[in-house]
Amino acid sequence: MVSHSSDEARGALYIVATPIGNLEDFSVRAINTLKKVDYIAAEDTRHTKRLLNHFDIDTRLFSLHDHNERDKASYIAELLSQGVSVALVSDAGTPLISDPGYHVVSHLRNEGFTVVPVPGASALIAALCASGLPTDQFYFAGFLPAKTKSRKEVMASWKTQPGTVVFYESTHRIMESMKDLAEVFGSSAKLVLAREITKTFETFLSGSADEILQRFSDDANQLKGEFVVMLDHREESDSESEELENRRILSILLEDLPVKQAAQLAAKITGHKKNALYQIALELQS
């Protein structure tokens, strides 16, 4: 049983990230946590059992998935109240990120139980950091609706969404999603698709939706696997006009604010980086 420093003899829930492909991404802390807890709540016990066997982990398992997690929330709360420790894992990656667990964690935190994150692999972050798209601001949309009409409505709502948009897609619907993106955004949007992250055939595809559809047509193997789709729909703006507008805004703000505060406020107004605006403000003050 995992020991706790709390005066109360209550267990904790550990949110444990598991590998999304490469088993070497499994952290030492995650392995040790799964060995020490009393129970592991798994999205698919058969899938998790294979992972546990590979790392010689013999902790008891029970299932926790989309269809039973509301009921399991009370069960886990009862276990924790008895001083029992539980780890939550999904089939791959970080639990709750488009995987089960939200209702359990929300319930336990509302009841005052300790919930401990044990971070690790996440397809979302792994793909985004290697995409070459802006990472200072991004929006994660999870999985999109299965029906075309609803999917297009969601995509259209992104036109006013700041930052890079990221969503997950399956091999069965990636072609249709690309066709919908081409219809909604045309050729102006930049796309990067990450396929089979950390696995043998990890691939990044870049271009417009039409260009990526052509890649699929040229090589059907590119349709295989699980996808992280990243979209930068912001139009390229004239840098000179942008610079003039930044200077205009900063000049107004500097009439009443010190340089640091003016740069901070200008960053909120324009969405541009604070450090760059701070340098412009210093030039204006000199």
Please, are residues 37 and 59 in contact by the beta-carbon 8 Å criterion? yes
What are 125-182's pLDDT values in tens digits? 999 999 999 998 999 999 999 999 999 999 999 998 889 999 999 999 999 999 999 9
Q: What is the DSSP letter of 192?
A: E
Question: How many residues in total does the chain contain?
Answer: 286
Max CA-CA distance within the chain?
67
Beta-carbon-side half-sphere exposure of residue 257 (alpha carbons within 13 Å): 17
Residue whose tokens read 């995650």: 30
List phi, psi (to 5°) of 63: -85, 145
Query: Per-residue pLDDT for 6 more than 50?
Result: no
State the pairing for strand pair 114-118/12-16: parallel
Name residue 63's beta-bridge partners: 42
**Architecture of the domain whose range is 12-121:** 3-Layer(aba) Sandwich (3.40)
- Residue bearing the bigger pLDDT, 52 or 282: 52
Phi-psi region of 231 (alpha: psi -120 to 50; beta: other; left: phi over 0): beta
CATH code of 124-232, in short, is: 3.30.950.10
Helix pair 102-110, 69-81: axis angle to 10 deg? 40
Whole-number percent of the chain with pLDDT over 70 = 95
pTM to 2 decimals?
0.78
